[in-house]
Amino acid sequence: MTPCILSLTEEELTAELALLGHKAYRARQIREWVWRRRARSFDAMTDLPPLLRKALGARFTLRPSEVVELAGSGGGTRKFLSRMEDGSLVESVLIPAAEGKGGMRAERLTLCVSSQVGCAFGCKFCASGLQGLERNLSAGEILGQIVTAEDIAGARIDNIVFMGMGEPLANFDNLRQALEIILSSGALNIGARHITVSTSGNVPGLKRLTDYGRPIRLAVSLHGVTDAVRSRIMPVNRRWPLGKLIPALKDWCAASSHKITLEYILIEGINDTLGEAELLAGIARDLRAKVNLIPYNTVDSLPWKRPSEKQCRSFCRLLVSRRIPVTLRYEKGHDINAACGQLRLRKLKE
């Protein structure tokens, strides 16, 4: 696959240019075109010598994918499907949301990015894992989703969640490289507190993320409060059960100034009893975490259902009564078939 210039730090680009016989200031010039002026072709970089533009075009891509489907419109949630150079399909979701209170309200633009094509973890309720893992996305392909989203929205993304397809911590090196560019003031320049990595509980990956030490946020897909339930719906739990996951989360918490988010999908008859809400409150208290309840988004070909709204609200109320910070979030992409892995699944079946 052609390397993507989006994935290079200034030092890496400088080293590449040195190999081509160019001075370091060219790297700054190119990054200015790539990140500030958002050039869409190397030919547009008019203050570079034509031979350098040609050499860059032969060596790198500027956009690693093309958009093949765009769903949703205007001010609401939008999702797009990108086709990579090798034909792989990847989905990303753009979510505008108001943030803050009273006169301080501001529109934030969140992008939910994918980190892999498919997923090896095979959670039973998830469309992304149905066909297993095809491959990791490169750092350029992760960053390409962000730049493409900004092209579509005509605005800058200011919040990134790694909650699309794939398990980001199973693609750690590319995740870290993408994070460096996202955080870099000469590139995307998004603050660490506006970046959330979500994991299904990949313990070695969590340790690496803790050691990486950047003050980003962490979300954990818990979805079950006992090993029996969790292993039933998330095979990853057999490898890293709660007894291993929770200490790794405590290590993260000790090193982080943000609360972690426990994601909890509510699935009818599987994990939605008030007894489980009580256990969830205990885990959240122990970790000083907040809880995000997500009524299950049905997936064609899977048998799982979302509980009644009444049941979801009772589950939520129990956590509130235990003073756990909790939100009950009806999946924003539901109306446009936009939840995790679902647009790709539909396209693959076409």
Q: Minimal distance in Å, beta carbon 236 to ligand SF4?
A: 6
Which of 52, 218 has the CB closer to ligand SAH? Answer: 218
Backbone angles phi, psi at 78, to 5 degrees: -125, 145
Is 221 a binder of ligand SF4 (CB under 6 A)?
Answer: yes
Q: Which part of the chain contacts ligand SAH (CB under 6 A), choosing from 2-10, 47-55, 81-89, 294-302?
A: 294-302
Which of 25, 330 has the CB closer to ligand SAH? Answer: 330
Residue 280 to residue 262: CA distance in whole angstroms: 9
Backbone angles phi, psi at 122, to 5 degrees: 55, 40
| Order of strands across the sheet that contains 65-71 | 65-71, 78-84, 89-99, 106-112, 159-162, 195-199, 217-221, 261-266, 290-295, 326-328
Residues with Cβ within 8 Å of 281's Cβ and at least 6 positions away in sequence, in order, are: 318, 319, 322, 324
129 binds, among ligand SAH, ligand SF4, none (CB under 5 to 8 A by kind): ligand SF4
Is 137 a binder of ligand SF4 (CB under 6 A)?
Answer: no
Which of 21, 303 has the CB closer to ligand SF4? Answer: 303
Residue 147 to residue 155: CA distance in whole angstroms: 10
Interface positions, 102-131, toward ligand SF4 (CB under 6 A): 119, 121-123, 126, 128-129
Q: Considering only residues 181, 296, 332, 343, which one is a binding residue for ligand SAH as defined by CB under 6 A?
A: 296
Interface mask (CB under 6 A) for ligand SF4, residues 187-206, using x and -? -------------x------
271 binds, among ligand SAH, ligand SF4, none (CB under 5 to 8 A by kind): none
Which of 197, 316 has the CB closer to ligand SF4? Answer: 197
Residue 220 to residue 242: CA distance in whole angstroms: 12
Is 339 a binder of ligand SAH (CB under 6 A)?
Answer: yes
Which has the closest alpha carbon to 297: 168, 76, 127, 164?
127
Q: How far is C-alpha 314 from the chain's CA centre?
A: 29
Q: Minimal distance in Å, beta carbon 60 to ligand SAH?
A: 28
Secondary structure element (H or E) that encloses residue 248, with its range: helix 242-255
Which of 56, 209 has the CB closer to ligand SF4? Answer: 209
Is 264 a binder of ligand SAH (CB under 6 A)?
Answer: no
Residues with Cβ within 8 Å of 258's Cβ and at least 6 positions away in sequence, in order, are: 193, 215, 217, 218
Task: Count the site residues for ligand SAH by CB under 6 A.
Answer: 18
90 binds, among ligand SAH, ligand SF4, none (CB under 5 to 8 A by kind): none
* 100 close to 106: Cβ distance less than 8 angstroms: yes
Q: Considering only residues 198, 237, 261, 271, which one is a binding residue for ligand SAH as defined by CB under 6 A?
A: 198
Residue 1 to residue 141: CA distance in whole angstroms: 11
122 binds, among ligand SAH, ligand SF4, none (CB under 5 to 8 A by kind): ligand SF4
Q: Among all residues, which ones are annotated catalytic?
A: 91, 340
Which has the closest alpha carbon to 175: 186, 161, 158?
161
Amino acid present at 132: G
Q: Considering only residues 126, 206, 284, 338, which one is a binding residue for ligand SAH as defined by CB under 6 A?
A: 126
What is the total residue count of the chain? 350
Residues lying near ligand SF4 in the complex (CB under 6 A) are found at 119, 121-123, 126, 128-129, 165-167, 200, 221, 340
Residues lying near ligand SAH in the complex (CB under 6 A) are found at 123, 125-126, 163, 167, 198-200, 221, 263, 265, 294, 296-297, 299, 331, 339-340
